[in-house]
Amino acid sequence: MAQNGKRVYTVPRYCKSNTEDGMKFSPLHRSPPLVFLFLLGIFYGCLWDNSDANKTKIPGGMTLVSAKGHSFQMGDSISAPLHEVVFTYDFYMDQTEVTQADYRSLMDTNPSYFNHDSQRPVERVTWYDAIIYCNRRSQRDGLDTVYRFSALSRMEDGFGVDSMIGLVIDYTKKGYRLPTEAEWEYAYRGGTQSVFYWGNNPDSTGDYSWYAANSRDSTQPVAQKKPNTYGLYDMAGNVYEWIADWYDDYTSSPETDPRGAAEGALHALRGGCWFNTPQILRAAHRGKEPANDRNLDVGFRCALTK
């Protein structure tokens, strides 16, 4: 019998059998060793219960980023002042940038310029396109939608969303969304405080990233280079990634679960791309673009609060 997602066993106190003398206890009752072994088996069966209800299920294609109760130094001396960030929650992050195949499966289109391999990251998507994808993915998987809006307008060519009216981002909802800048940098670093997630040596960039020296002037299929310690691929290079936050100056004060400015003119980008030098692929480097820009060097990946 199941109660609250756990197995509950009903154990008889004794067994009875009908005899000419009436009701008598069966041999089970008269054999303490057998009863002991029976109960012991139930006890260990509960400990070894591997049912789905007792497992933490990680969404397909994502990695758990253990951030709750952890802090890190965000930023660097070049891009922004170093400041402490603390998280009060864990979150999941896509192992790869959203591919063209992923995008087409939910959006019925592929706006990418480098479109001759469906496992390359999708690009030429606006920030608004990315959050619509997040909502559709949430609906597909039976999750809440994080983004609400009353109306939208599209580009003249029909490929991209140009603007939204009445947009509300509800971080209390459990659904797919774009990562915040703090989440993205924490996930990139993978527990390091080095310049890159592979260390401080730019000579190793080609082992982990598609960038100016090895990309052959285009994006490349995802997950071909070495991942970081969280198992995340292409956090540096291939395509820039849209971030949830409006671009704004950092504070030098400690922050808890920061989500950026409430409004702004530009959205943050992270990670660098296929035509950048290692300098731009640093953990703390920040880019920025208008939300309705579509570029062949910008894609995204999704996050999900645990």
Which candidate, 208, 227, 218, places its Cα nearest to that of 120? 218
Which candidate, 197, 198, 300, 287, places its Cα nearest to that of 242? 300
For 49-69, the pLDDT digits (tens) are: 344 433 458 899 999 999 999
- Mean pLDDT score of the chain, rounded to an integer? 86
Which candidate, 285, 254, 287, places its Cα nearest to that of 268? 287
For residue 283, give the 3-state DSSP assignment: coil
For 9-23, the pLDDT digits (tens) are: 233 333 333 333 343
For 146-202, the pLDDT digits (tens) are: 999 999 999 988 789 999 999 999 999 999 999 999 999 999 999 999 999 999 999
For 103-150, the pLDDT digits (tens) are: 999 999 999 999 999 999 999 999 999 999 999 999 999 999 999 999
CATH superfamily of 62-305: paralog of FGE (formylglycine-generating enzyme) (3.90.1580.10)
At residue 250 the predicted structure's pLDDT band, cuts being 50, 70 and 90, is confident
Residue intervals in the chain for CATH 3.90.1580.10 = 62-305
The encoded tokens of residue 64 equal 């758990």
CB within 8 Å of 64: residues ≥ 6 apart: 56, 58, 90, 91, 92, 306
Please, are residues 66 and 89 in contact by the beta-carbon 8 Å criterion?
Answer: no
Which candidate, 130, 282, 275, places its Cα nearest to that of 198? 282
Predicted TM-score (pTM) of this structure: 0.81
Please, are residues 246 and 261 in contact by the beta-carbon 8 Å criterion?
Answer: yes
Dist CA 41 CA 34 (whole Å) = 11
Beta strands at 80-86 and 255-256: parallel, antiparallel or unpaired: parallel
